[in-house]
Structure 1
Amino acid sequence: MPDQLPTRTRLVDAALRAAGITGEIVVLPDSAATAPLAAAALGVEVGAIANSLVFWSDDEPLLIMTSGAHRVDTSALAQRLGRQKIKRATPEQVREATGQAIGGVAPTGHPTPLTTVVDRALAEHPQIWAAAGTPHAVFPLTFAELVHLTHGTVERVD
């Protein structure tokens, strides 16, 4: 099946396999570009969707993997992380940092690894789902696998 996936999703699949993550990529017929759409398509709680949000902080991209049930409190998170400011990246910055478009950003498969924060609330779910490079592709994994995959810092983000 990997040969039938879009190029961006094949890069994500290769990164998953390299990290030892065995969850299979699922291609959905409809867009899962938002946490509510993904949750509805998969029949899971919105909190089990791991949103990949790209921000800009201290002159570099910052990937925040947040529960679909949360909004990122950028001021509080910047203070907790000891950063000057965290602001939402532009669509161009997202594409440049990840090689992927907003709505399909995966936690992996980027041109270079990104500094990543993982929302500790995702640990409440035995299985979580993340985008796989396009708005139609997702994959399952555990919280521990997400932290391992991203080398992320676990933090409260709301």
Structure 2
Amino acid sequence: MSKHPELPETALRVARLLESLGHDQAIVMLPETGKTSAEAAAGLGCEVAEIAKSIVFRRLQDNAAVMVVASGINRVDENKVAALVGPLGKADARFVKEKIGYAIGGVCPIGHLEKTVMLIDQDLLQYAHVWAAAGHPHAVFRLTPEQLKNMTGAPVVDVALRA
């Protein structure tokens, strides 16, 4: 019998991965969609900035997925990301599903189908806890920025578009 019978299959996959990593926070199913940072924050009662949104690009040189885990209030500066990883193109829904393994709106920062180039927005480090998608548009999980760094192995960089 599953410990998480109520979770959709992709969120269940994330729950099992989190358990294997020793993460003790349960996946939360939002009553409304968490497809946008604002929707997720409203459902959780937290600041939009505390949402760790996953933005995926396609690296042109090798067609690799590039994921930026950014603060929910930040727009990602593609030029800053490209300066770190190489020229970028858009990642459509099919590319994200094939490379990462999740549908847009529920893209989790861990458990990807293929090796993903990862970057973490330095602005997330100012929060005690953040919330990340857990493989489904209604599923999220809570973690510290340090846990995010440890789970992904990603460098912390400045990726925000600044006025």
Q: Smaller-chain TM-score range?
A: over 0.9
1:72 and 2:113 are equivalent in the alignment: no
Partner residue, 2:120 = 118
Which digits, 9 at most, give the CA deviation of each residue in 1:95-152, with x for residues without a partner?
0012211001111122234221011110011010001011100000000000111111
Q: Give the counterpart of 1:127 among 126, 129, 154.
A: 129
Q: Please, what TM-score do these two structures have when normalized by structure 1?
A: 0.93
Which digits, 9 at most, give the CA deviation of each residue in 1:47-106, with x for residues without a partner?
100001111113210111010010111112221x1x331233111100001221100111
TM-align CA RMSD: 1.2
Matches within 5 A, 1:4-83: 4-57=6-59, 58-59=61-62, 60-79=64-83, 81=84, 83=85
Distance in 1 of aligned mates of 2:88 and 2:73: 20
Partner residue, 1:151 = 153
* Aligned 8 A contact 1:13 1:25 in 2: yes
> Between the two proteins, what is the percent identity of the paired residues?
38
* Aligned 8 A contact 2:14 2:134 in 1: yes
Q: Where in structure 1 are there 5+ consecutive unaligned residues?
A: none
Kindly provide the amino acid, as one letter, of the partner of residue 35 in structure 1: S
Q: Where in structure 2 are there 5+ consecutive unaligned residues?
A: none
The runs of 4+ residues in structure 1 deviating greater than 3 Å are: none
